[in-house]
Amino acid sequence: MPGLPRRHHYVTKAYLDGFLEPDGKQLFCYMRRKFEPFATTPMKLANIRDFHSFKRPDGSIDASLETQIEREVETPGIPLLRKLASGKVSLDYRQRSLVARLVALQHVRVPYERSFMDRNNVDDLRSYIEEMDEDSRNLGAPVNAIEIAITPQDDPRLIKNWVRVTRTQILAEIKEAEEDPQRSSRENFFGLAESLGRIIERMEWTVRYASGASRFVTSDRPVIRSFSDGLTVGRGLKDLRAEIRFPLSSTSILEIKHRQWLVDAVRKRPLRGGLRPKVNTEWTIATGDADDSFVNTFNRRMAKQAHLLVFSGRTQGWLTEWMKDPIKPEKRAVKVLDAEERLKILGEKKPLLTRKREWVTSPE
C-alpha cells in the first residue's frame, strides 16, 4: 500500500528535534556498552520497523495504530510541548489534557516498557496453568478452569464480577503470544496511556528552564517516574508520593507532582473512599529555575534509567563512561490477593473450577 508508514518512532522525532543545538542537525548518541558515541539525525533514531503494526489474516499490514498515534497524540501535542519549552505556560484544560496524554503515551510506548508488559502477560498466563496443575495434583481430579477477579483498582471492595477462563483458552493465548510476542502490549499500551493521562492532567505542573550553560539530555526512556520516598516496587501513579520528570527540550523540563492540598488532606485523616478534587482548582502551570547543578543531577538520573541510548545535542564526555554498564532491571511487584480456599471434593472426578483472586494490571 503506497504511503504505508513502516518505520515507527517510539520516541517522537519532533520531540527529539528539541534537543538539537541551535542550527544543529544531529544528536550525539551514547549507547550502553559502546565506547564511543555516534552522531545522526533525529529521523534515524528511536524507531523500529512495524513497531505498532501487525499482519492481518490475509498477510497485509495494519498500521492503523501508528496513524492513530500521529493523528490523536503527536500532531496536537507536540506544538504544545514546544510552547511550554519556549516559556509560554498558559494552557487551557483541553491543551493540558493533550500534553498529559502525550507524556503518558511516551512513558508506556518505549520498547523497555512494552517488553515488560508482554513478559508479564505471558508469565500470568503460565501461572494460571501452573496453578491449575497444582490444584489437579492436590485434589486428585483435573482442574481445567480458573476464575479471575476483575477490578479497575487494587481494592478488594471493588470486585464485582469474576471471569471464567479455561485451560484451552489460556493455552491458545500463550500460543498467540509466542507467534506475535508484541501483541499484548500493542493492544493495551494506548489504553493504558489514556488512563495515566487522566491522572497526570490533574496533578501539579512546573516547568523549569535551564539558567546556566548545562543542557538537558533525553533517552529511549525519556519519562522518569519516581517516588518522593525513594521506593518504587509495587507503586502506581495514584500514590501521592509519585512524581514525573520529563525534559521538554535541551533547555526545559516538566515536573509533575500530586497537589499539596491533597497530600496534606490524606496525612490528616485516613483515606475513605477517595478524596474529590477541590472545586475551582486553578490549573495554572508554575515556572522555575534549573541551574547547572539541577540539570547535571537530572542528566545522571536520565542516563541511569536509559534502556540502550541517551541523546544529547552536544558532546557529554561523562556519558561515555556512564553508559558502559548494562541497565539494571527494575523490581516491580505483581499484586495478588490470597487465593480462596481450594474447592474440596469427596470422590468426585469431574473437572473442577478453582478461583484465583488476582488484579487486572492497573495503571493507577
Task: Convert the pLDDT of each residue in 140-177 to its tens digit.
Answer: 888 888 887 766 555 555 666 777 888 999 999 999 99
Cell representation of residue 294: 539541577
Give residue 364's pLDDT: 38
Give residue 59's pLDDT: 83
Q: Inform me whether the pLDDT recorded for 329 exceeds 80.
A: no
Q: Rounded to an integer, what is the distance from CA 329 to the centroid of its chain?
A: 15
Task: Let me know: does 52 contact 8? Beta carbons within 8 Å.
Answer: yes
Q: Inform me whether the pLDDT recorded for 181 exceeds 80.
A: yes
Assigned domain for 275 exists: no
Assigned domain for 323 exists: no
The answer for residues whose C-beta is within 8 angstroms of residue 180's C-beta and 6 or more apart is 54
Give residue 143's pLDDT: 85
Closest CA to 144 of 175, 122, 171: 171
Sheet with 352-356: strands ordered across: 161-166, 143-150, 352-356
Assigned domain for 228 exists: no
CA distance 214 to 292: 5
Percent pLDDT > 70 in the chain is 78
Q: Inform me whether the pLDDT recorded for 209 exceeds 90.
A: yes
Domains in the chain, number? 1
- Find the angle CA(147)-CA(153)-CA(155) to the nearest 5 degrees: 80
The answer for residues whose C-beta is within 8 angstroms of residue 160's C-beta and 6 or more apart is 150, 151
Q: Inform me whether the pLDDT recorded for 106 exceeds 50.
A: yes
Give residue 155's pLDDT: 53
Give residue 332's pLDDT: 53
Assigned domain for 288 exists: no
Domain extent for 141: 121-181+333-356
- The distance between the two most distant Cα atoms of the chain, rounded to a whole number of Å, is 80
Q: Model confidence over 53-103: pLDDT tens digits? A: 888 888 888 889 999 999 999 999 999 999 999 999 999 999 999 999 999
CA distance 174 to 182: 12
Cell representation of residue 16: 527529539
Assigned domain for 199 exists: no
Least confident of 7-16, 49-58, 66-75, 310-319: 49-58
How large is the average pLDDT for residues 125-129? 90
Assigned domain for 26 exists: no
Assigned domain for 265 exists: no
The answer for residues whose C-beta is within 8 angstroms of residue 25's C-beta and 6 or more apart is 41
Written as one string, the DSSP assignment of 236-249 is -TTSTTEEEEEEEE
Give residue 303's pLDDT: 94
Give residue 16's pLDDT: 97
Q: Inform me whether the pLDDT recorded for 331 exceeds 60.
A: no
Q: Inform me whether the pLDDT recorded for 353 exceeds 80.
A: no
Assigned domain for 141 exists: yes
